[in-house]
Amino acid sequence: MAPASYNCIFNTICVMDASTRLGTKLVKRLLKRGYTVHAAIQNHGESSSLKRIECEEKKLKIFESDPFDYHSILDALKGCSGLFYSFEPPADYPTYDEEMGEVEVRAAHNVLEACAQTDTIEKVVFTSSATTIIWGHDKDSAPSIDERHWTDINFCRKFKLWHAMSKTLAEKTAWGLAMDREINMVTINSGLLMGPELTITNPYLKGAAEMYEDGVFVTVDLDFLVDAHICVYEDIASYGRYLCFNHIINQKQDALNLVQMLSPLPSLPQSLEEDTTIIQQRISNKKLNKLMVDFRGCQPQMMDQNANQDICL
């Protein structure tokens, strides 16, 4: 029997934006776990793989949804008990700059307001970033950083950390609205998402050298990130913010491996390859790891019950 803190009744979930790497993987995992899924995709997203699944899977329904079109959000949310929300820049505005904060805030406001107007919504999982936590803390005042910390907006403006600024403003907007409208919301504050699609233009990488030197340069694999999202949704005791990462880049070799992946070099200086210096880690994800222990132990039972079209209480 699964832990009592897990409520895994297989109901209807909305995933928005379902056309991203995270969104697509979430849709597939939720379907496998027995949920009915409303996959809300933006026009700029790649949705061919989801449309192929839709032809075979009766529990998947695809919606064309725009976070700047309030009514399209309401359509996608209709009948859903939960929402997984992540923001992707519009196709006509793909670069993070000083103005992106206003764009992302507007999208977050629309989505949370639509949730407040949807009576069936019981929980929202809002995908945010570790960059909303790590910037603007000196080592003396904050020797260790976790979910209780917030990035300093003025620090971001000063050093043109537009990705961190936008994510921070959007998450604060979402929390303000969630508390005002009594929406049950948790956030996943993700490290840099790794994978073959990662390029040097990823806005998370702005300030990468400083993140490395400060011991806060964290990354996450897609499977772990998906598990974390489902874990905080299904655990009725989850609350607040969750820093999500399963690797920290705090050794020269790790940093060099990332550099080579982003911009392959013919060879590396031997002196760098032999450097075994380890930067002290200043960031903690203990809150999420504690939650994930019970979640992973529940996995086989959930799958068995799903196969039997049962529920896990």
pLDDT (tens digit, 9 = 90+) per residue, 55-79? 566 899 999 988 999 999 999 999 9
More confident residue, 7 or 121: 121
Task: Reduce the secondary structure of 222-255 to three states and give it as a string.
Answer: HHHHHHHHHHHHHECCCCEEEEECCEECCEHHHH
* All domains of the chain in start order, with CATH: 12-209+220-247+284-307 (3.40.50.720)
What backbone phi and psi angles, to 5 degrees, belong to 274? Answer: -90, -5
Instruction: Look at residue 98 and give its three-state secondary structure.
Output: coil
pLDDT at 42: 83
CA distance 212 to 63: 40
Q: Concatenated DSSP letters for 24-89?
A: HHHHHHHHHTT-EEEEEE-TTS--HHHHHHHHH-TTEEEEE--TT-HHHHHHHHTT-SEEEE----
Q: 3-state DSSP call for residue 118?
A: coil
Instruction: Answer with the residue of higher pLDDT: 257 or 50.
Output: 257
pLDDT digits (tens, 9 = 90+) for 140-172: 888 899 999 999 999 999 999 999 999 999 999
End-to-end CA distance of the chain: 8
Q: What is the pTM of this model?
A: 0.88
- In the 8-state DSSP scheme, what is residue 136? T
Which token pair is 170?
């959007």
Amino acid identity, residue 255? A
Instruction: Kindly state the DSSP code that residue 8 receives in the 8-state scheme.
Output: -
Per-chain mean pLDDT for the chain: 87
Tokens, residue 34: 């027995």
